[in-house]
């Protein structure tokens, strides 16, 4: 049994999610203790509990200690299975963080899978669903993943109520991630507001377009006004071109002008594009796990090396013994090379 200290490195929910994913894929029993040990309210919160139970269902695992507030769990997985599965987080907590754990389980699988999940689709401290659709999942598809992510209903804080569906076809093994030299042709985006006047989404988009144009970056940002359980807004931008899987986003908030929302997303993406990286700082986190399982050596440049990425690398080494070379420092651009173990479903 692998023992994972959930207070190491960044000390948050990412360590629990990655330990769970690796355990299910490699059929390795795992004990995670000091769960979220560096957070103000350590232990399992509703989102982590829902994710654990969902992962356990996908591999018919024996799960112990899974209750709200628990700081220690044990997971003894059986074989992964496909099929149709529905999960309800029960709060506005992030669907995308649940998918960070579950997506690899349905990618490297002998059977097709459909996941239907209810929860928050654009909430703090996690990538909005359109970011996964336009940046993260295309990067996974470069590695051979066969995925389709659909957003049926948007869900903002505090009620959530968003609806997301993922369809995945069988993939026996993943290819290494080896993007070409980055070349940005255009910036695309989506500016959304739910249960708010349409001008909110329009102002977010127009502000972002103006800032991007000052850097000679052409852009095409769609505007959507949608129905949602709670009012909210978000803008997601992404780069189109060869060898680049990069995006940014910004959430609206009470008292936060729409112009600031659009400006934050545009300035973040401009900064990361100018570095000349293949992936943004958040997408880098998502790639470590699949690269560690891929058949071959993955190599890419990330716009900023974060503690989250280093935590992901530590978990990859713990569960797979893969070789990882990082050329860069925290807070700076970095080149990451990962020799995968060639895991086969």
The mean of the pLDDT values for the chain is 96
8 Å CB contact between 116 and 66: no
Whether residue 96 is preceded by a cis peptide bond, meaning omega within 30 degrees of 0, is: no
Is 154 a known active-site residue? no
Regarding whether 291 and 324 lie in a shared domain, the answer is: yes
Regarding whether 89 and 55 lie in a shared domain, the answer is: no
State pLDDT tens for residues 138-148. 999 999 999 99
What CATH number has the domain bearing residue 232? 3.30.360.20
Other beta carbons within 10 angstroms of residue 196's beta carbon come to 18
With bands split at pLDDT 50, 70 and 90, how would you rate the model's confidence at 319?
A: very high
pLDDT value for 293: 98
Domain count, the chain: 4
Asked if residue 44 has pLDDT above 90, the reply is yes
Residue 176 within any structural domain of the chain: no
Regarding whether 75 and 50 lie in a shared domain, the answer is: yes
Regarding whether 99 and 49 lie in a shared domain, the answer is: no
Asked if residue 330 has pLDDT above 90, the reply is yes
Domain extent for 316: 278-345
In the set 48, 154, 286, 308, the catalytic residue is 308
Asked if residue 90 has pLDDT above 90, the reply is no
Q: DSSP class of residue 133?
A: I
Asked if residue 229 has pLDDT above 90, the reply is no
């Amino acid at each position: 049994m692998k023992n994972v200290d959930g207070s190491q490195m960044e000390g948050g929910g990412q360590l629990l999610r990655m330990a769970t994913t690796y355990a299910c894929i490699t059929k390795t029993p795992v004990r995670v203790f000091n769960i979220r040990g560096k957070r103000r309210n350590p232990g399992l919160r509703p989102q982590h509990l829902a994710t654990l139970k969902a992962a356990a269902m996908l591999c018919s695992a024996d799960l112990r200690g899974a209750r709200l507030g628990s700081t220690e769990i044990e997971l003894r997985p059986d074989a992964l299975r496909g099929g149709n599965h529905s999960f309800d987080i029960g709060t506005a907590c992030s669907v995308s963080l649940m998918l960070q754990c579950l997506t690899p389980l349905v990618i490297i699988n002998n059977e097709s899978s459909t996941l239907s999940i209810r929860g928050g689709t654009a909430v703090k401290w996690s990538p909005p669903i359109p970011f996964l659709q336009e940046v993260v999942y295309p990067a996974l598809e470069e590695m051979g993943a066969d995925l389709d992510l659909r957003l049926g209903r948007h869900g903002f804080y505090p009620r959530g109520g968003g609806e997301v569906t993922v369809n995945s076809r069988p993939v026996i093994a993943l290819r290494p991630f080896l993007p070409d030299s980055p070349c940005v042709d255009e910036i695309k985006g989506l500016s959304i507001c739910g249960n708010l006047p349409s001008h909110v989404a329009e102002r977010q988009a127009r502000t972002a377009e103006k800032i991007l144009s000052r850097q000679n970056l052409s852009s095409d940002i769609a505007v959507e006004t949608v129905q949602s359980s709670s009012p909210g807004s978000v803008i997601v931008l992404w780069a189109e071109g060869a060898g680049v899987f990069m995006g940014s986003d910004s959430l609206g908030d009470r008292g936060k002008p729409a112009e600031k929302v659009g400006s934050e997303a545009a300035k973040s993406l401009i900064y990361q594009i100018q570095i000349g990286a293949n992936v943004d700082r958040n997408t880098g986190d998502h790639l470590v796990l699949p690269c560690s399982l891929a058949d071959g050596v993955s190599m890419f440049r990330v716009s900023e090396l974060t503690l989250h990425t280093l935590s992901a690398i530590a978990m990859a080494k713990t569960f797979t013994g893969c070789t990882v070379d990082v050329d860069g420092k925290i807070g700076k651009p970095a080149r990451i090379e990962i020799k995968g173990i060639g895991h086969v479903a």
